[in-house]
Amino acid sequence: MLNRIALRGFTLVEVMVVLTIVGIVLAFGTPSFVAYLQGAKLASSAQSYLSGVQLARAEAIRRNLLVQFVLTDTPVATANFQNAAVLSVTGQNWLVRVFNPTTAVFDLIEAKSALEGSYSSSGTAPVQIAGTATPPAVFDGSISFSGFGGTTTGGVYALDLQNPSGGACAPAGPMRCPRIRVAAGGRALLCDPIVAAGDSRAC
């Protein structure tokens, strides 16, 4: 005679209890996950801009020519983009261009749209950038590097990034907003403007 095994499922009450517990856990975890995603967008954009600045400097040394890192809102697909791009201190797209002394115009080295890797397919990228410079340099949307690798103005530049979608920058808000600092000698690094001097992350 075969033994009969009793098969028992879940009751409606048990299912509702489990769903309630899962809902509570998700409710507590969602804000942290959203904050993580917004921070990731900011970090990704910061690395992109930093790569552009470092590329401009490296190409200036390699070619022994004036090379510019440029911020612009002109679409990357624009014809003759390297010469048509309108400089902007808050431009979200960037390009690296080299001045060709033979043709007296700029040749394109590399360009990138802010929408690339921004989790946004159209409109405006969530990350915002604004550049400044220390006197005597004036930031007009570009940083020029000489063949020696330093900035042509001898000035220090700062590119500050923020992601308003994730909130205000610390210490007033939750976002750790990075700064790209370009020294007069041309060295570019990511730093944290709110960290005290002496810390390796300080600007």
Mean pLDDT score, 4-22: 71
- Residue 12: predicted pLDDT: 76
Name the residue type at position 149: G
pTM: 0.81
Distance CA 71, CA 88 (A): 6
Tell me the domains of the chain and their CATH numbers.
Answer: 12-191 (3.55.40.10)
- Residue 5: predicted pLDDT: 55
- Residue 145: predicted pLDDT: 97
pLDDT tens profile 104-148: 999 999 999 987 755 554 556 789 999 999 988 999 999 999 999
Name the residue type at position 31: P
- Residue 26: predicted pLDDT: 60
pLDDT tens profile 134-190: 988 999 999 999 999 999 999 999 999 999 988 899 898 889 999 999 999 999 999
Share of the chain above pLDDT 90, in %: 64
- Residue 115: predicted pLDDT: 79
More confident residue, 75 or 39: 75
Q: What dihedral do alpha carbons 161, 76, 85, 69 form, nearest 10°?
A: 50
- Residue 28: predicted pLDDT: 64
Q: What mean pLDDT, rounded, does the chain reach? A: 88
Distance CA 172, CA 162 (A): 13
- Residue 117: predicted pLDDT: 55
Task: With cut-offs at 50, 70 and 90, classify the pLDDT of residue 47.
Answer: very high
DSSP three-state, residue 159: strand
Whether pLDDT at 1 is above 50: no
